[in-house]
Amino acid sequence: MFTIGTLGAKTGTKIQTIRYYEQIGMMPKAERTSGGQRRYRQQDLDRLAFIRHGRQLGFGLGAIREMLVLADDPTQPCADADSIAQRQLVQVEQRIIRLEALRAELQRMIVECTGDKVAQCRVLEILRDHSECLTDHGANDGDMA
């Protein structure tokens, strides 16, 4: 049996995140000691490691939830898991395209900046006037994390 602190340390997951996963049903409710402390089994550790790895690969909680349902029933077709991974790959490829466009835009801004006074700073000028940008980044691309 593991404490929540041990579970967190073994998986690199914050205690608050483990509690959240319990709250939203991705992790089963932990057994409790008579003093009310959570206790976890090896299968809970394995499940949390699965969730954590999925998050590291960029999967959203919805996709991870779908995969947990599949993992909980090994008789289901693997094609379903493949489909979820394929959707994630498409999202990653789209994000890479946006990031490459952003990189090119930033490189252009830097090259065009003469380094003189702020009044003539090309970087600041482009940031003030979105029409100066070569690409349409969308309003939330800076929030891709």
CA distance 36 to 23: 16
Burial class (CB in 10 A: 0-12, 13-18, 19+), 111: exposed
Per-run averaged pLDDT (10 residues), the chain, 145 residues: 94 96 94 90 96 94 95 90 95 94 86 76 76 58 46
The pLDDT assigned to 16 comes to 96
Q: Read off the pTM.
A: 0.73
CA distance 53 to 67: 12
Summarised one tens digit per residue, pLDDT across range 72-96 is 998 988 999 999 999 999 999 999 9
Summarised one tens digit per residue, pLDDT across range 52-62 is 999 999 999 99
The pLDDT assigned to 122 comes to 76
Domain boundaries, the chain: 4-72, 78-143
What is the widest separation between alpha-carbon atoms in the chain? 69
CATH classification code of 4-72: 1.10.1660.10
